[in-house]
């Protein structure tokens, strides 16, 4: 079988799988956009992290230790593309949009100005990729804790999510 046909089959398989997964998913427990919003948040979680000790600022840093990252799948059921512009969370002193990339065996992080969500599509924030970075944690985030975060979309506006703290993706 030639490569292109294989690829087509593979794509079809993936598409079917995606339909099956989306179809079987119940209302995302953590998504909280208004019922009319085309934005749906699924599989949101954050990794554990410890609060920065008071006054502990390493040389060269403004924020010191105490970080976490939020991951999720953002679905857009609408006909228009949207963009996640920023996020807020009371547990952190600063919240930024970052992307980790592997370059030549090294893990590198970059800030990104916004995260695009394609029309009738989705974007996945996941370890080793796009994530919402929490800097300067004000309290420890332990496994099974939960905290609220607000996502600000260019079109859909604010979406509040309840973020569970986990070791790995749900």
Partner 1 sequence: MSRWIAAGLLVLLVAACQRPAFRGRVLDPPRPVPALTLNDQHGRPFDLAGQRDRVVLVFFGYTRCPDVCPLTLGVFRQVAEMLGTDAARVRFVFVTVDPEVDTPAFLERYLRLFHPEFVGLTGSPDALAATYQFFGAAFEKVPVPKSAAGYLVAHSTHVAVIDRQGRWRLTLSHQATADDVAHDVRRLLRE
What is the residue-wise DSSP string for the chain?
Answer: --HHHHHHHHHHHHHHHHHHHHHH--S-SS----TT-SEEEEEEEE--B-PPPTT---TT-SS-S-EEEEEEEEEE-SSS-EEEEEEE-TTEEEEEEEEEEEETTEEEEEE-S-EEE-TTEEEEE-TTSEEEEEEEESS-B-TT-EEEEEEEETTTEEEEEEEEB-SS--
64 contributes a contact to partner 1 by CB under 8 A: yes
Quote the CA–CA distance of 100 and 20 in Å, as a whole number.
29
98 contributes a contact to partner 1 by CB under 8 A: yes
59 contributes a contact to partner 1 by CB under 8 A: yes
Options 24, 26, 36, 107; binder of partner 1; rule CB under 8 A: 107
54 contributes a contact to partner 1 by CB under 8 A: no
Options 54, 60, 79, 144; binder of partner 1; rule CB under 8 A: 60
Applying CB under 8 A, the span of 9-17, 75-83, 137-145, 152-160 interacting with partner 1 comes to 137-145
- Which residues, 22 to 51, sit near partner 1 by CB under 8 A? 47-50
Applying CB under 8 A, the span of 32-40, 74-82, 103-111, 155-163 interacting with partner 1 comes to 103-111
Options 39, 44, 69, 159; binder of partner 1; rule CB under 8 A: 69
Q: What is the largest CA-CA distance in the chain?
A: 63
Residues lying near partner 1 in the complex (CB under 8 A): 1-3, 47-50, 53, 56, 58-69, 71, 93-94, 96, 98, 100, 102-103, 105-109, 111, 127-128, 131, 133, 135-136, 140, 142-143, 167-168
């Amino acid at each position: 079988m030639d490569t292109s046909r294989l690829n087509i089959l593979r794509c079809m398989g993936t598409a079917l799988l995606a339909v099956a997964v989306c179809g079987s998913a119940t209302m995302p427990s953590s998504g909280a956009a208004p019922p009319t919003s085309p934005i749906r948040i699924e599989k949101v979680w954050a990794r554990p992290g410890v609060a920065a000790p008071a006054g502990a600022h390493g040389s060269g840093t403004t924020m010191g230790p105490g970080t976490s990252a939020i991951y999720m799948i953002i679905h857009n059921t609408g006909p228009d593309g949207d963009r996640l512009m920023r996020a807020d969370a009371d547990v952190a002193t600063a919240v930024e949009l970052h992307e980790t990339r592997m370059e030549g065996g090294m893990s590198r992080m970059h800030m990104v100005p916004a995260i695009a969500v394609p029309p009738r599509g989705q974007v996945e924030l996941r370890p080793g990729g796009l994530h919402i970075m929490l800097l300067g944690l004000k309290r420890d985030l332990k496994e099974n804790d939960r905290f609220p975060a607000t996502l600000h979309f260019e079109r859909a506006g604010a979406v509040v999510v309840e973020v569970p703290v986990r070791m790995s993706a749900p």
